[in-house]
Amino acid sequence: MGLFNWTERGADTLNQGGVIAPDERLPWPQTAIMGVQHVIAMFGATVLAPLLMGFNPNVAILMSGIGTLIFFVITGGRVPSYLGSSFAFIGVVIAASGYGGSGPNTNLGVALGGIIACGAIYTLIGVIVQATNVRQRRSTPARGVEVVEIDEGVAEHWIERLMPPVVTGAVVAVIGLNLAAIPIKNMAPTSFDAWMQAITFLCVGLVAVYTRGMVQRLLILVGLIVASLIYAVLTNGMGLGKPIDLSGIANAPWFGMPSFAAPVFDPQAMLLIAPVALILVAENLGHIKAVSAMTGRDLNPYLGKAFIGDGIATMVSGGAGGTGVTTYAENIGVMAATKIYSTAMFVVAAVVAIVLGFSPKFGALIQAIPLSVMGGVSIVVFGLIAIAGAKIWVDNRVDFSDNRNLLVAAVPLILGTGEYTLKFGAFNLGGIGTATFGAIALYWLLSRGKAARGRG
């Protein structure tokens, strides 16, 4: 198919139990509605991540739209995906920039340089994957006729050997655990704020359990809104805490240029942030597998291009002042629920996000969210990240009766949670960095020992 040439299908396709494939679309009005729904699905997390790092949310939402279009073009419109702000960057960005947890990040440029370095490594991995993903084996049968056989999946094999589930589960869990102190220590300056955090994560929990449909899928966003309303009643109405100030929203124009920022290439920050590329690889690999299973189409040939698209999008985002981006599980959930996998709706979603990025009023609305409410949401999000790592172990049936797996999981958890730091001259590698490289190194080292015993 051409890049913007989808086969149109009617709604009767879904009514008859069929699906809308990546190279197909519903009529444009329905496609537009589906695109808006995907914006809503990614909205909460894509806006929350920059706030937790002190980034400008307008720039983040703008670059998520631009990044999605970059991904779409590089994959030839074959891989349905939305690229939103990656939570994998939060811990390393905070560590590299020294961000305190509230307001704009005054050392933003240093973080941006690290994000670009991460995107460059991610892109390089994608190039290697694309070069090795499909190998031709030539053979000459007895009749002398040369036959070309295609051996697919080579790249996926070596990536999964480098980062098996026991490794990726440990690293993902570390990301959540490493962030635990931020909302507890930095986002609840008063006793009232601590109680408000508790009310917030309770609101999110009630939405997650007692609602259905799209409201349940937007549990973070809906819970945040409900908690903010409760906060307004307790503070603006009853005077129990710092009231919400809405003057910034009223004074902000509807449209205007976002506040872009320039990167600063600090070697130590780059070394700290660049290893997140391994996490992005794991996330994207899982995305490709999930969408392949849902659509019944083999998307493995596009794996390298997907990495390249995500890596370039991350570099472009970092160059403008945005967060690193990744494929979004929220949007996979929407596709699974609707059975609509058309890449056309992600083009619509990207355009909507770009328009929102040029709205200062939207940015002022996000900035008005109370710090303690953000803290309560952060507790939920960081906890979910940690549990997502454990879920990788469960889903892949990691055998913890094997001492190798036990150590590969256990040691990195403590390294990351305790902010274990190794110094290399002027460079410090701590927390998530030592946990990531430690998990990979431990698995490689202990696997070699196990293999040697097996041969003996």
For residue 325, tell me if it sits in a domain.
yes
For residue 142, tell me if it sits in a domain.
no
**Mean of pLDDT over the chain:** 80
Arithmetic mean of pLDDT, 321-331: 82
pLDDT tens-place string over residues 236-261: 888 787 888 778 777 878 888 888 89
Residues 184, 382: Cα–Cα separation, whole Å: 11
pLDDT tens-place string over residues 268-277: 888 888 888 8
pLDDT at 69 (0 to 100) = 95
Residues 391, 384: Cα–Cα separation, whole Å: 10
At 118, the pLDDT band (50, 70, 90 cuts) reads: very high
Could you give the 3-state DSSP secondary structure of residue 181?
A: helix
Residue keyed to tokens 């109680």? 195
**Statement: residue 152 has pLDDT above 50:** no
> CA-based Rg of the chain, rounded to a whole angstrom?
23
Task: Specify which of 1-10, 246-255, 325-334 reaches the highest per-range mean pLDDT.
Answer: 246-255
The Cα-based distances of 4 to 16, 340, 345 in angstroms read: 26, 17, 11
**Statement: residue 99 has pLDDT above 70:** yes
Residues 437, 441: Cα–Cα separation, whole Å: 6
Domain that holds residue 53: 19-135+149-450
Tokens of 193: 């704020």
Reported as half-sphere exposure (CB side, CA atoms, 13 A), residue 299 has a value of: 28
For residue 354, tell me if it sits in a domain.
yes
pLDDT at 313 (0 to 100) = 96
pLDDT at 150 (0 to 100) = 42
**Statement: residue 176 has pLDDT above 70:** yes
Arithmetic mean of pLDDT, 221-250: 84
Q: Are 272 and 422 in contact (CB under 8 A)?
A: no
88 compared with 75, residue with greater pLDDT: 75
For residue 11, tell me if it sits in a domain.
no
Does the pTM exceed 0.75?
no
For residue 210, tell me if it sits in a domain.
yes
Arithmetic mean of pLDDT, 125-131: 89
**Statement: residue 376 has pLDDT above 70:** yes
pLDDT at 235 (0 to 100) = 87
367 compared with 121, residue with greater pLDDT: 121
Per-residue exposure over 413-432, b if at least 16 CB sit within 10 Å of its own CB, e if not: bebbbeebeeeeeeebbbbb
230 compared with 138, residue with greater pLDDT: 230
Q: How far is CA 355 from the centre of its chain?
A: 21
Closest to 392 (Cα-Cα) out of 206, 166, 64: 166
pLDDT tens-place string over residues 45-79: 777 788 888 898 889 989 999 999 999 999 988 88
Residues 154, 124: Cα–Cα separation, whole Å: 17
Q: Residue 265 has what DSSP assignment? A: -
pLDDT at 198 (0 to 100) = 92
431 compared with 57, residue with greater pLDDT: 57
For residue 456, tell me if it sits in a domain.
no
Residues 445, 451: Cα–Cα separation, whole Å: 10
pLDDT at 216 (0 to 100) = 67
The structural domain count of the chain equals 1
For residue 353, tell me if it sits in a domain.
yes
Arithmetic mean of pLDDT, 205-223: 76
User: pLDDT > 70: what percent of the chain?
Assistant: 82
Of the listed ranges 38-47, 97-106, 144-153, 326-335, the one predicted with least confidence: 144-153
Q: Are 247 and 236 in contact (CB under 8 A)?
A: no
pLDDT at 330 (0 to 100) = 64
330 compared with 324, residue with greater pLDDT: 324
Arithmetic mean of pLDDT, 157-168: 75
Backbone angles phi, psi at 175, to 5 degrees: -55, -45
Tokens of 430: 């701590």
Residues 41, 345: Cα–Cα separation, whole Å: 13
Residues 314, 158: Cα–Cα separation, whole Å: 24
For residue 418, tell me if it sits in a domain.
yes
Residues 44, 381: Cα–Cα separation, whole Å: 11
